[in-house]
Amino acid sequence: MRRRTAAMFFCAVALVGAAAAASARPAERPAPAQPGERPAAAQPAPGFAPIRIETTHVALVFTVGADGSLYQSWLGPRLADTAEYAAGPAPRHEAFIGAGLSDLAEPAITVTHADGNPSLDLRYVRHEVTGNETVIYLKDSVYPFTVALHFKTFADQDVTETWTEIRHSEKKVVTIEEVASSVLHFDGPGYHLTEFHGGYASEMQMEESPLENGVRILDSKLGTRPDMYQAPFFMLSLDGPAREENGPVLAGTLAWTGNFRFLFDVDERHSLRVVSGINPYRSPVTLEPGRAFTTPPFIFTYTTNGKGQASRNLHHWAARYGIMDGDQPRLTPLNNWEATHTGFDEQKLVGLFDGAVRLGLDLFLLDDGWFGDKYPRDNDKAGLGDWMENPRKLPDGLGYLVREADKKGLRFGIWLEPEMVNPASELYHAHPDWILRLPNRPEQYQRNQLVLDLCNPAVQEYVYHVVHDLLQRDTGIAYIKWDCNRPMTDAWSPFLGEHQGSLYIDYTHGFYNVLARLRKEYPHLPMMLCAGGGGRTDYGALRYFTEFWPSDNTDALERVFIQWGYSCFFPAFSICAHVTSMGRESLKFRTDVAMMDKLGYDIQVDRLTPEELTFSANAVRTYRRLSPLIGWGDLYRLVSPYEEHRAALMYVDSTRTHAVVFAYTLQTRHQEFFYRVPLRGLDPSGRYRVKEINLAPGTHSVNPDDDKVFSGDFLMKAGLQLTPGRINPATSWVYDITTEND
Ligand code: DGJ
724 contacts 661 by C-beta, under 8 angstroms: no
Is pLDDT above 60 for 573? yes
Is pLDDT above 90 for 218? yes
CA distances from 338 to 342, 414, 437, 557 (A): 10, 15, 32, 17
The fraction of the chain above a pLDDT of 70, given in percent, is 95
Q: Which of 173, 225, 208, 692 is nearest to 486 (CA)?
A: 225
Answer yes or no: is the C-beta of 258 below 6 A from any ligand 1 atom. Answer: no
Per-residue model confidence (pLDDT) at position 26: 65
The pTM is what? 0.95
Please write the tens of the pLDDT for every residue from 133-142.
999 999 999 9
Burial string for 451-477 (b: 16+ CB within 10 Å, else e) reads bbbbbbeebbebbbebbbebbeebeeb
Q: What number does the ligand 1 atom closest to the CA of 380 have?
A: 11
Q: Mutation test of ligand 1: which of 367, 480, 527 has the most ligand atoms closer than 8 Å to its C-beta?
A: 367
SS3 108: coil
Please write the tens of the pLDDT for every residue from 36-77.
565 667 777 888 899 999 999 999 999 999 999 999 999 999
For ligand 1, atom 2, name the residue with the nearest CA. Answer: 532
Mean pLDDT value across the chain: 94
Contacts of 695 (CB under 8 A, 6+ apart): 588, 701
Give the pLDDT band of residue 642 (cuts 50, 70, 90): very high
SS3 84: helix
Tell whether the torsion through CA atoms of 13, 19, 20 and 22 is positive or negative. positive
For ligand 1, atom 9, name the residue with the nearest CA. Answer: 532
**How many CB atoms are located within 10 Å of the residue 116 CB?**
7
Per-residue model confidence (pLDDT) at position 697: 86
**Cα–ligand 1 centroid distance for 220 (angstroms):** 21
Eight-state DSSP code of residue 318: I
For ligand 1, atom 6, name the residue with the nearest CA. Answer: 337
Is pLDDT above 90 for 458? yes
Q: Where is average pLDDT lowest: 22-26, 34-38, 214-218, 552-556?
A: 22-26
38 contacts 30 by C-beta, under 8 angstroms: no
**Cα–ligand 1 centroid distance for 377 (angstroms):** 13
Please write the tens of the pLDDT for every residue from 78-98.
999 999 988 877 788 999 999
Answer yes or no: is the C-beta of 589 below 6 A from any ligand 1 atom. Answer: no
**Cα–ligand 1 centroid distance for 582 (angstroms):** 15
Per-residue model confidence (pLDDT) at position 32: 63
SS3 209: strand
The fraction of the chain above a pLDDT of 90, given in percent, is 89
Render 49-68 in DSSP notation, one character per residue: PPEEEE-SSEEEEEEEBTTS
Contacts of 174 (CB under 8 A, 6+ apart): 111, 112, 113, 114, 145, 168, 286, 287
Answer yes or no: is the C-beta of 367 below 6 A from any ligand 1 atom. Answer: yes
* Mean of pLDDT values over 681-697: 97
Render 446-486 in DSSP notation, one character per residue: BTTBEEB-TTSHHHHHHHHHHHHHHHHHSTTEEEEEE----
Known catalytic residues are 483, 552
Mutual angle of helices 610-632 and 587-595, in 10-degree steps: 20
Per-residue model confidence (pLDDT) at position 23: 40
Catalogue all structural domains in the chain, each as residue range(s) with its CATH number. 18-322 (2.70.98.60), 366-525 (3.20.20.70), 635-739 (2.60.40.1180)
Q: Where is average pLDDT lowest: 23-27, 398-402, 679-683?
A: 23-27
**Better pLDDT: 175 or 89:** 175
**Cα–ligand 1 centroid distance for 533 (angstroms):** 7
Q: Which of 252, 301, 257 is nearest to 279 (CA)?
A: 257
SS3 165: strand
Please write the tens of the pLDDT for every residue from 475-527.
899 999 999 999 999 999 999 998 999 999 999 999 999 999 999 999 999 99
* Mean of pLDDT values over 554-571: 98
CA dist 391 and 376 (Å) reads 9
Answer yes or no: is the C-beta of 602 below 6 A from any ligand 1 atom. Answer: no
Answer yes or no: is the C-beta of 422 below 6 A from any ligand 1 atom. Answer: no
126 contacts 12 by C-beta, under 8 angstroms: yes
Tell whether the torsion through CA atoms of 508, 509, 510 and 513 is positive or negative. positive
Q: Which of 455, 446, 63 is nearest to 225 (CA)?
A: 446
Q: What number does the ligand 1 atom closest to the CA of 367 have?
A: 7
Per-residue model confidence (pLDDT) at position 16: 31
SS3 308: helix
Per-residue model confidence (pLDDT) at position 45: 81
Per-residue model confidence (pLDDT) at position 18: 31
Q: What number does the ligand 1 atom closest to the CA of 552 have?
A: 3
Per-residue model confidence (pLDDT) at position 27: 73
Q: What number does the ligand 1 atom closest to the CA of 415 have?
A: 7
For ligand 1, atom 10, name the residue with the nearest CA. Answer: 368
Would you give the end-to-end CA distance of the chain in angstroms? Answer: 53
610, exposed or middle or buried, with CB in 10 Å at 0-12, 13-18, 19+? exposed
Tell whether the torsion through CA atoms of 731, 658, 321 and 206 is positive or negative. negative
**Cα–ligand 1 centroid distance for 424 (angstroms):** 19
Please write the tens of the pLDDT for every residue from 420-445.
999 999 999 999 999 999 999 999 99
CA dist 598 and 640 (Å) reads 20
Per-residue model confidence (pLDDT) at position 36: 55
**How many CB atoms are located within 10 Å of the residue 498 CB?**
5
**How many CB atoms are located within 10 Å of the residue 19 CB?**
14
Is pLDDT above 80 for 20? no
Answer yes or no: is the C-beta of 203 below 6 A from any ligand 1 atom. Answer: no
Q: What number does the ligand 1 atom closest to the CA of 341 have?
A: 10
Is pLDDT above 60 for 24? no
